[in-house]
Structure 1
Amino acid sequence: MPRAYRFFLPGYIYHITHRCHNKDFLLRLKKDRKNWTEWLFEAKQRYQLSILNYTITSNHIHLLVKETGNNVIPNSLHLIAGSTAQAYNKRKNRKGAYWEDRYHATAVQDSGHFIRCMAYIDLNMVRAGVVNHPADWEFGGYHEIRKPKSRYKIIDHD
């Protein structure tokens, strides 16, 4: 049976989560998280994906994005997830699933929900005990805003 079509309303904000297959730590190496970040930046450039926040952990990702047009979110996630999986599987000479099922998308309901999503994403690695402050986690939106990099500007600041 085919999967149900996902419909994203233009102008709406969505909290996206995507977990690695079997909760494996496939994003544990810095180079794998960096690769995912590069594809996120590519999706932003190619599809005009509006990125409000993100964090990349060792076994899952969080994105807070705004649907800006026709299938921007699905096209972007297809590019990011597929490219990340292909690069990892090729490097490891591996076959099989990289991601656990489909990504999960939740529409942000109001400003309170938006603030809770921002805090949840920013504090993910603090709650996990990996860092003491969100600015210390290199692969997240909070770090980018507090310590801007010259190479990538992923977060939409407007």
Structure 2
Amino acid sequence: MARLPRPYLPECAQHIIQRGNNRAACFYEETDHSVYLAFLKEAAVKYQVAIHAFVLMTNHVHLLATPQNETGTPRMMQALGRRYVRYFNHIHCRTGTLWEGRYKSTVVDTETYLLTLYRYIELNPVRAGMVEHASEYPWSSYQHNAVGKEVQLITPHAQYQALGNTPSERQANYRSLFRGRMLDRDLTEIREATNKAWVLGSDSFKRHFEVVSGRRAIAGKRGGDRRSAAYKSAMDQGL
């Protein structure tokens, strides 16, 4: 089956993953993380992409971002990737490629999945066994969204802003989202949608995407509408 092109809609949030070539490390030391974030901020501003959440793992990166135009994300990722590779190869006396081909991404249904994506991204270090709690990992947006440490790269999404009327209220309500484990179903849906270039959302959101974009939202029919009675019943039973 032919690979679907990456789903894309201006002003619609995206989950983006970029991995090191052959799963090799793309960050060796703390300075690498800082430089990557500085380059990301410059590229995001230049190409009008709002960054809502991120995590820099040892050998890959997750971003939650909203482009404002038709070409924002690909141009941002291209500029960021090339600039960081030049820096990384120079500093660490290496040559050759750093990234594993094309970055992967999916369009995210804001109403049903956005805050789940925030959580998925910032819990990566916990799932990897690197830390016990997301607050212990320094290279993620949890430091900004939940703790209140200023990260100038971050542009809060409207869904995040709706968590409270003040920064402290939003941070407290955001921290409450991190209680307990994520459902395996959510993990599977997010991973499949991003890796296979499927749209991550309800059935109605997928239909809307297909009408607006003119491309398929998913390779085959899977899952269900999160607002349906059947889905809510399964969620209540922990299925």
Q: Structures share a fold, TM > 0.5?
A: yes
Residue 60 (structure 2) pairs with residue 60 (structure 1): yes
> For residue 149 of structure 2, what is the amino acid of its counterpart?
P
Give, in angstroms, the shift of residue 6 of structure 1.
5.2
2:30 equivalent in structure 1: 30
Tell me if the contact between 1:21 and 1:99 (Cα under 8 Å) persists in the aligned partners: yes
Give the aligned partner of residue 103 of structure 2. Answer: 103
Q: Give the TM-score of the pair, scaled to structure 1.
A: 0.88
2:156 is matched by which residue type in structure 1? H
Root-mean-square deviation (CA, aligned residues, Å) is: 1.8
**2:39 is equivalent to residue 39 of structure 1:** yes
Kept after mapping to 1: 8 A contact 2:48/2:67: no
Aligned to 2:25, what secondary structure does the other structure show? coil
Give me the whole-angstrom Cα distance separating, in 1, the residues matched to 2:7 and 2:128: 32
So what's the TM-score if we normalise by structure 2? Answer: 0.59
Mind listing any 5+ residue stretches in structure 2 that lack a counterpart? 158-239
Question: Within the alignment, does 1:154 sit opposite 2:185 as a pair?
Answer: no
**Does the Cα contact within 8 Å between 1:52 and 1:156 map onto a contact in 2?**
yes
| Count of residue pairs the alignment pairs up | 153
- The residue identity in structure 1 corresponding to 2:52 is L
Structure with greater helix share of residues: 2
Which has the greater radius of gyration? 2
Question: What percentage of aligned pairs have identical amino acids?
Answer: 27
Greater per-residue strand proportion: 1
Distance in 2 (CA, whole Å) between partners of 1:25 and 1:147 is 29
Return the offset for 1:91: 1.7
SS of the residue corresponding to residue 58 of structure 1 reads coil
Following the alignment from structure 1 to structure 2, what is the Cα–Cα distance between the partners of residues 7 and 117?
Answer: 16
Aligned ranges for residues 91-130 of structure 1 at < 5 Å? 91-130=91-130
Question: Residue 21 of structure 2 aligns with which residue?
Answer: 21
For 2:23 and 2:124, locate their aligned partners in 1 and report how far apart those are by CA, in whole Å. 16
CA offset digits 1:71-92 (Å, max 9, x no partner): 1111111121111111111122
| Cα distance in 2, alignment partners of residues 157 and 111 from structure 1 | 15
Asked whether the 8 Å contact 1:54–1:141 carries over to 2, the reply is yes
Quote the offset at 1:110 in angstroms: 4.4
The runs of 5 or more residues in structure 1 that have no matched partner are none
Q: Which residue of 1 aligns with 2:160?
A: none
